[in-house]
Amino acid sequence: MAQRDHGRGRRRPGSRNMLAGAVAAVALAAGTAGAQDRAVPTLNFQGVPGLIDMPSGQGLPDAELTAVASYFGGIGRTTGSFQFSPRLTVSFRYLSVRDWDTNLPPAQQDGFDTYYDRSFDLRVLLLRETDRLPAVTLGFQDFIGTGLLSGEYIVATKEIMPGLRVTGGLGWGRLGARGALGSPFGERPDIEFGEGGKPTFNQMFRGPVAPFGGVEWQATDRLGLKVEYSSEGYDEEAGRRGVFEHKSRFNFGAEYQVTENVRLGGYYLYGSEFGASLQVALNPRRRPGGMGIQDTGPIPVRVRPPASDQQAWSRSWAADPGAAAFLRDTVAQYMEIDGMRLEALSLSADRVQVRYRNIRYDATAQSVGRVARILTHTMPASVELFEIIPVEEGQGLSAVTLRRSDIEALEHAPDAAEAIRARRGFGDAAPMSADALWAEDAYPRFAWSLGPAVRLSFFDPEEPIRGALGVRVRGRYDIAPGLVLSGSITQDIYSTLKTAEEREPGALPRVRSDARRYDNADGPVIDTLTFAWYAKPANDIYSRVTVGYLERMFGGISGEVLWKPADSRLGLGVEVNYVQQRAFDQRLGFQDYDVVTGHVSAYYDIGGGYHAQLDVGRYLAEDWGATVTLAREFANGWRVGAFATFTDVPSEVFGEGSFDKGIQVTIPVTWVIGAPTRDMRSTTLRPLTRDGGARLSVDGRLYETVRDYHQGEMDGQWGRFWR
Distance CA 717, CA 723 (A): 11
pLDDT beyond 90 at 645? yes
Q: What are the residues facing 672 on neighbouring strands?
A: none
> In 3-state terms, what secondary structure has residue 329?
helix
**Quick one: pLDDT band at residue 5, thresholds 50, 70, 90?**
very low
CA distance readout (Å), 507 to 502, 517, 622, 649: 15, 18, 12, 10
Number of H helices, E strands in the chain: 10, 32
pLDDT beyond 60 at 21? no
* 361-420 residue pLDDT tens: 989 999 999 999 999 999 999 999 999 999 999 999 999 999 999 999 999 999 999 999
Nearest to 523, CA basis, from 447, 588, 456, 590: 588
Q: What is the pLDDT of residue 118?
A: 84
Task: State which H helix or E strand residue 23 sits in.
Answer: helix 20-30
Superfamily of domain 20-283: monomeric porin ompg (2.40.160.40)
Sequence-distant (≥ 6) Cβ neighbours of residue 574 within 8 angstroms = 560, 561, 598, 599, 600, 601
**Quick one: pLDDT band at residue 697, thresholds 50, 70, 90?**
very high
pLDDT beyond 70 at 7? no
Q: What is the mean pLDDT of residues 150-173?
A: 96
CB 530 within 8 A of CB 478: no
* 595-643 residue pLDDT tens: 999 999 999 999 999 999 999 999 999 999 999 999 999 988 899 999 9
CATH code 2.40.160.40 region(s) in the chain:
20-283
pLDDT beyond 80 at 656? no
**Quick one: pLDDT band at residue 40, thresholds 50, 70, 90?**
confident
Sign of CA dihedral 449, 452, 457, 462: positive
CB 65 within 8 A of CB 278: no
Task: State which H helix or E strand residue 652 sits in.
Answer: helix 651-654
Task: Please state, rounded to an integer, the average pLDDT across all residues of the chain.
Answer: 89
Q: How many CB atoms lie within 10 A of CB 615?
A: 21
CB 138 within 8 A of CB 156: no
**Quick one: pLDDT band at residue 196, thresholds 50, 70, 90?**
low
CATH architecture type of domain 316-442: 2-Layer Sandwich (3.30)
pLDDT beyond 50 at 436? yes
- Greater pLDDT, 397 or 191: 397
Q: How many CA atoms lie within 13 A of 435 on its CB side?
A: 9
* 96-150 residue pLDDT tens: 899 888 888 888 887 778 888 888 899 999 999 999 999 999 999 988 766 678 9
Q: What is the pLDDT of residue 4?
A: 39
pLDDT beyond 70 at 211? yes
Q: What is the pLDDT of residue 285?
A: 84
- Greater pLDDT, 479 or 118: 479
pLDDT beyond 70 at 500? no
CATH code 3.30.300 region(s) in the chain:
316-442
Beta strands in 230-326 (DSSP E): 250-257, 262-269, 273-282
Q: What is the mean pLDDT of residues 495-503?
A: 71
